[in-house]
Chains A and B, each alone.
Chain A
Amino acid sequence: MKISVNLLKQLGKIDKSNEEIVKGIKEHIGEVESYQDLAEDYSDIIVAEIKEKKDHPNADKLGVYQLNIGEEKLVQVLAGDKTLVVGDKVAYLKPGAKVPYTIYTEEKPFIIQSRDMRGMLSDGMMGSEKELNLGNDHTIVMRLPDDAPVGKSFAEYYDLDDFIIDIENKALTNRGDLFGILGLARELTVIFGKPFNTPVWYLDNTKNLREESSCLGLNIINDAEVLCPRYTAIAMDNIVVEESPMWLKSALIKFGYKPINNIVDVTNYISQLSGQPLHAFDYDKVISNDPNKNSSANITIRMAREGESILGLDEKVHELNDRVMIISDSTNPLAIAGIMGGSETEVDNNTQRIIIECANFDKTNIRKTSMLLGLNTEAGTKFKHALDPNQCIPVLKETVRMVKELTKATIASDIIDIYPTVEEERNITLSIVKINSHLGLDLQKETISQILTNLEYKIVKDDDDFLTVLVPSWRKDVNIKEDIHEDIGRIFGYNNVESILPLRNLIPAKDNAIFTLKKKIRQILADSGANETDTYSFIDIVTLEKANLDANKAYKLKNALAPELALMRTSLIPSLLLKTQMNLQEGYDKFILYEMNIPHIQGYVDENKLPREDWHLSSVITSIEKRNDSAYYIAKRYVEKILNTLNIKDIEYTLLSEYSEEKLTEDFKNSIYMFDRNTSAVITAGDVVLGIVGELDNKVKMNFKLPKYSAAFDINLNVLNTIEIKNSAYVEMPKYPESRVDLCVEAEDEIRYKDLYDVVFKEINNDDMKGTVSCIDIYKANEKATMKRITFGIAVKNFNKTLNDKDIKVITEKIIKQLEKTYSVKII
């Protein structure tokens, strides 16, 4: 929203510097996007008159002009425009002047210098509309009106010695009234502690305009009352369409509008002033285009029909449907309501009679239509933010007044006003105590009353702690008392609010177990050589399929930014695989990436039917070194490192190919296909599946160009969190020295290490003794051998005595007997 400080000052009678005004807006209204000192931008540009014209002796395309710039000596300027004639008035940019257009479009503004052009000196430049930032024409030098005073500052002549502030629209989202300069002037005046005097015309709701000359028939039917609460219009005759006066053009340029003609310019000017969009139709075109020939203009506000379309003022055809509100004649669309007029009834240079429309449309419908048609117009932006239907009549009358002033036009109909349901006035009761406790202030009732009256709230009841106020009709954002608390705080100044820490009781905050678990794991892995990543939640079909995953299990985005970001990932591992591949290409040859995040599986929902969100810890481990063993064991080593550090015991590992898929939860049913079935294991604690660890499937490794020695693990942290960590009480340790013995057994390959280990462990842990079992070696003569040899290292302590050789022998024999009995192993 661009505003001119000159106009603000004039309306609000504010006597403040530009800096103070910018600061005031920032602190009391909303963020200032940018500001622009036009006087500065146009310095060193002056009005000049062409006194002599010559051809360039060495260049056909250049004209040589002598300019009167109000000084005794004429100035020589060369230009590509050879159409200028003696007597033309132009804008002369002195050497050292900045080209205004380049100030906001280039990194550094272009500065004019005296320069030699094919052997002749050009001592400055004559500006085109575009270079002067006043229009789009850059083909010819801009001609100034004949009455332009030679030697005078161009900025002053064009009323451009102004300061333009651009306020962020976002900050004004709920303030339809601030999309007009009037509303902003009101706020700003109040900020500086003064009451605002809304211009009398804006408050005059009487429909006191009467038809003056020829009677023009104008019939309006509102068939969309719900979405068009108010529609007012008037017809005018004896219009002379011409260029607007300088002050009007200059004002529009400063608002960012392009001047078109006096009628369009007036509607745009008043629209920007009041925040109320207006539209002018060519009366005769409305009648002549109507297939139902009639002597009166017939206008209907209705929803468009499927298949209808309109050629807009943007010269584009817009397809309409039954959700789009339109203004139509007896049959065809004339305008898209609240957004854009139609080209067929546009006011042009031959227009003599017009209809001026000033209406109120539903903000939601306008917003939807604007999105549907992809049309962002000034009018649409204003309507989107909810406007006051009460301003229709005053704004319409002010427009008529200005049109009459500019063109000697006459009023050719009464004001037509369709306003079936008059908006009710809003009274809100405030409590001084509540205002102060909400804002943390200690304001007197008088201060509060003053702020509210300055903002044009009317105090209708004043009763001890309570104030009842009538909300100004333009404040569509004010519905509850807290909205008014905000006004008071904002105007009084948030920076006048002290900092007071809240008092709190001593109840300790609760721990978030998952967050704490993640913190611990992050520490363990970072201490163990692994690097944490934070990859996107988005993935594509190709990557999922490369990882052996079913892309149909992924949620699809309706509005993805790019094809490679089209799906929500069903596992973190594919993202890690991509990043592993990337880092291998970068030359890293041995590393571990891990991430803790949330995968989503389509249809796997929680108790509220929302996608189930369990945290997963996933990791990919890779090394290009040549090894004979399976990478499963390094991945498992990391899983054990985490679980041991967390003191989680009794974890089981079952070969993936031997684990029944039905017992897996959806997240792991999805991810098992990334793993090699014969070199991976399901990690369980009792009946609970914690995760999967193992070698990546060969195809996956190939697809991501990973070396042989690559493995991964995936752990569901929410499940891990449910496992109770046993804070087992201290167990008395035997005081007698430890005895050690090695035991080598030969067993069939299918017999699991853990089963043998359990037998040994059980035999040396009882009431008499305590022992540990370690694995010294596992050996197979060759890869095809059906037997393997395992060497256990056994260490035992007795609670009551030092064990001698004989005791050890007894223990060893018991172990052997048990192993032979259970697993028919052979002792070596």
Chain B
Amino acid sequence: MDNNLEKIQVQLQKDTNLSYEELKTKYLSTNGLLTLAMKAIASIPNDQKATYGQNVNQLKSSVTELLDQKKNQSLVYSPNNRIDPTAPFDVNTPKNDRPEIWDIKGTKHPLHKEVEKLVEIFQRMGFDVMESKQMDDDYHMFESLNFPVGHPARDMYDTFWTEDGFVLPAHTSTMQNRALKQFEPPIRVVLPGRVFRHEATDASHGHTFYQMEGIYVDKGISLANMKATIKTFLEAYLETDLEVRIQPSFFPFTEPDCEFVISCPFCNKTGCSTCGHSGWIELMGCGMIHPNVLTQGGIDPEVYSGFAWGFGVDRLTMIKLAINDIRYLRDSNLNFLRQF
């Protein structure tokens, strides 16, 4: 090996105690040892150039390796003494640098802001609130909702399962049975929560999203009551008058089963991108609670009737805030979060 290179190598072994900055200056700055050695290749005879180049590169990787090591070490903070956790600040804190609340822009997550708004409207309408579970069993997710084992409607829900046989709720309806059992009629409860669908993610589909279920059970409750309750809620939330339509749909846990459709509040039915130029937006599934579901919840369907609905909060938030990609909601990018 070239004499000079050997010298540098020996020197490097002695320098392992230097700091990151010191090492960088000594070896890699304009006049650094390694930089000069690399420039020197011009003066090496042609037949030795290849070997020289190899050796220089080897040396360079040793330096880079050591630098990386130093960089990681510089992250480490190890106070020599244990702190006193009961004190308001550290013995090392300069007088004018005591820990205080930071004066930067704090935010609530846009989705949770909407959940709060939605829940508040229902609370004003006299609804209780019960939050949904994130891991549940087959009974609550399917059986208590009139999905017998092997029912094709189970295919409608692409469900995640854990190896121990728990289910990640694909809808907040997983809470219906609990709500029916926990409360006495008249039952008015909203059930917000995180739900999971086993499906590929794109701009408008996520495997994780937020839903809000609601149920209303009392004597003599009718489809007409359902129509009015959901409409009243939506008008309060969207702060505008709406035309509403109910279309038939299918859910095992309601009878009749419906889809709730509203006139587009953004274009007044003239057609815009939000409503896909149809003037109408399909907002949620709803229906009269199936007698089997009431029975499973310990409520006599011959005496009481009720309705239920469920809608996705992500979609509503996206519509309201003109967010065009559902993934932004979970990316936690401060560029995004600090806008709200």
Residues of B contacting A437 in the complex (Cβ-Cβ under 8 angstroms):
220, 222, 305
Chain B proximity of A63: nearest CB distance (Å): 44
Chain B proximity of A553: nearest CB distance (Å): 13
Q: Which of B78, B162, B332 contacts A698 (CB 8 A)?
A: B78
The answer on a CB contact under 8 Å between A495 and B245 is yes
A727 located at the interface, meaning its Cβ lies under 8 Å from any Cβ of chain B in the complex: no
Task: Give residues 401-436 of A contacting B (CB, 8 Å).
Answer: none
The answer on a CB contact under 8 Å between B123 and A509 is yes
A726 located at the interface, meaning its Cβ lies under 8 Å from any Cβ of chain B in the complex: no
Chain A proximity of B257: nearest CB distance (Å): 7
Chain B proximity of A378: nearest CB distance (Å): 15
Q: Assuming A440-B222, A592-B102, A629-B92, is B291 touching A534 (CB within 8 A)?
A: no
The answer on a CB contact under 8 Å between A629 and B244 is no
Residues of B contacting A779 in the complex (Cβ-Cβ under 8 angstroms):
91
Contact with B along A590-609 (1 / 0, CB 8 A): 11110001101010000000
Give the interface size class of chain A: 35 or more
Task: Give residues 684-702 of A contacting B (CB, 8 Å).
Answer: 694-695, 698, 701-702
The answer on a CB contact under 8 Å between B290 and A752 is no
B53 located at the interface, meaning its Cβ lies under 8 Å from any Cβ of chain A in the complex: no
Q: Which of B101, B198, B305 contacts A641 (CB 8 A)?
A: B101
Residues of A contacting B143 in the complex (Cβ-Cβ under 8 angstroms):
none
Task: Give residues 281-331 of B contacting A (CB, 8 Å).
Answer: 282, 288, 290-291, 305, 329-330
Q: Which of B81, B106, B134, B220 contacts A530 (CB 8 A)?
A: B106
Q: Which of B75, B94, B128, B282 contacts A509 (CB 8 A)?
A: B128
B10 located at the interface, meaning its Cβ lies under 8 Å from any Cβ of chain A in the complex: no
Bound-state Cα–Cα, A706 to B76, Å: 9
Task: Give residues 62-83 of B contacting A (CB, 8 Å).
Answer: 72, 75-83
B3 located at the interface, meaning its Cβ lies under 8 Å from any Cβ of chain A in the complex: no
The answer on a CB contact under 8 Å between B112 and A482 is no
A311 located at the interface, meaning its Cβ lies under 8 Å from any Cβ of chain B in the complex: no
Q: Assuming A368-B150, A519-B116, is B156 touching A440 (CB within 8 A)?
A: no
Residues of B contacting A632 in the complex (Cβ-Cβ under 8 angstroms):
83, 85, 90
A638 located at the interface, meaning its Cβ lies under 8 Å from any Cβ of chain B in the complex: yes
Chain A proximity of B163: nearest CB distance (Å): 5
Task: Give residues 207-238 of B contacting A (CB, 8 Å).
Answer: 207-208, 216, 218, 220-225, 227-229, 231-232
Contact with B along A790-828 (1 / 0, CB 8 A): 000000000000000000000000000000000000000
The answer on a CB contact under 8 Å between B227 and A385 is no
Chain A proximity of B258: nearest CB distance (Å): 6
- One of B44-52, B248-256, B267-275 at the interface: B248-256
- One of A122-130, A451-459, A651-659, A761-769 at the interface: A651-659
The answer on a CB contact under 8 Å between B225 and A504 is no
Q: Assuming A31-B249, A783-B80, is B337 touching A510 (CB within 8 A)?
A: no
Residues of B contacting A514 in the complex (Cβ-Cβ under 8 angstroms):
131
Residues of A contacting B276 in the complex (Cβ-Cβ under 8 angstroms):
none
Bound-state Cα–Cα, A5 to B92, Å: 83
Bound-state Cα–Cα, A610 to B101, Å: 39
Residues of A contacting B258 in the complex (Cβ-Cβ under 8 angstroms):
494
Chain B proximity of A636: nearest CB distance (Å): 7
Residues of B contacting A561 in the complex (Cβ-Cβ under 8 angstroms):
198, 200-201, 207
Residues of A contacting B97 in the complex (Cβ-Cβ under 8 angstroms):
627, 629
Contact with B along A549-575 (1 / 0, CB 8 A): 000000111111100010010000000
The answer on a CB contact under 8 Å between B101 and A638 is yes
Chain A proximity of B243: nearest CB distance (Å): 10
Q: Which of A497, A522, A628, A701 contacts B223 (CB 8 A)?
A: A497
Give the residue among B127, B220, B225, B332 with the most A Cβ atoms within 10 A.
Answer: B332
Interface of A is mostly: mixed
Q: Assuming A533-B337, A752-B86, is B107 touching A501 (CB within 8 A)?
A: no
Bound-state Cα–Cα, A523 to B109, Å: 11
A480 located at the interface, meaning its Cβ lies under 8 Å from any Cβ of chain B in the complex: yes
The answer on a CB contact under 8 Å between A535 and B330 is yes
Chain A proximity of B313: nearest CB distance (Å): 11
Q: Which of A31, A512, A579 contacts B332 (CB 8 A)?
A: A579
Q: Which residue of A lies closest to B216 (CB)?
A: A502
Q: Which residue of A lies closest to B192 (CB)?
A: A515
Contact with B along A768-790 (1 / 0, CB 8 A): 00000001011110011000100
B95 located at the interface, meaning its Cβ lies under 8 Å from any Cβ of chain A in the complex: yes
Q: Which residue of B lies closest to A565 (CB)?
A: B207
Task: Give residues 81-136 of B contacting A (CB, 8 Å).
Answer: 81-95, 97, 99-109, 111-112, 116, 119, 123, 126-131, 133-136
The answer on a CB contact under 8 Å between B229 and A778 is no
Q: Assuming A653-B86, A679-B82, is B244 touching A536 (CB within 8 A)?
A: no
Bound-state Cα–Cα, A556 to B164, Å: 8
Bound-state Cα–Cα, A749 to B81, Å: 9
Bound-state Cα–Cα, A582 to B330, Å: 13
Q: Assuming A525-B106, A633-B90, is B80 touching A784 (CB within 8 A)?
A: yes
A363 located at the interface, meaning its Cβ lies under 8 Å from any Cβ of chain B in the complex: yes
Give the residue among B100, B150, B282 with the most A Cβ atoms within 10 A.
Answer: B150
The answer on a CB contact under 8 Å between B332 and A529 is no
Q: Assuming A27-B247, A173-B153, A637-B100, is B291 touching A482 (CB within 8 A)?
A: yes
Q: Which of B87, B109, B149, B160 contacts A532 (CB 8 A)?
A: B109
Q: Which residue of B lies closest to A789 (CB)?
A: B91
Q: Assuming A515-B119, A558-B163, A753-B87, is B224 touching A439 (CB within 8 A)?
A: yes
Bound-state Cα–Cα, A537 to B133, Å: 12
A445 located at the interface, meaning its Cβ lies under 8 Å from any Cβ of chain B in the complex: no
Bound-state Cα–Cα, A489 to B249, Å: 13
Q: Which of B89, B128, B188, B249 contacts A775 (CB 8 A)?
A: B89
The answer on a CB contact under 8 Å between B76 and A555 is no
Residues of A contacting B42 in the complex (Cβ-Cβ under 8 angstroms):
none
The answer on a CB contact under 8 Å between A678 and B83 is yes
Chain A proximity of B53: nearest CB distance (Å): 33
Q: Assuming A522-B112, A611-B166, is B337 touching A529 (CB within 8 A)?
A: no
| 9 A-B residue pairs with CB within 8 Å | A437-B220, A483-B255, A500-B222, A505-B186, A527-B106, A582-B332, A610-B136, A655-B82, A754-B87
Extra A-B contacts (11), CB below 8 Å, given A509-B127, A611-B135, A678-B82: A30-B250, A438-B305, A499-B227, A501-B232, A509-B188, A526-B107, A529-B104, A556-B163, A586-B335, A634-B99, A698-B77
Partner-A contacts on B (CB < 8 A): 72, 75-95, 97, 99-109, 111-112, 116, 119, 123, 126-131, 133-137, 149-153, 155-156, 160-164, 166, 168, 186, 188, 194, 196, 198, 200-201, 207-208, 216, 218, 220-225, 227-229, 231-232, 244-250, 252, 255-259, 282, 288, 290-291, 305, 329-330, 332-335, 337-338
3 closest pairs, A vs B, by CB?
Answer: A440-B224, A440-B222, A754-B86
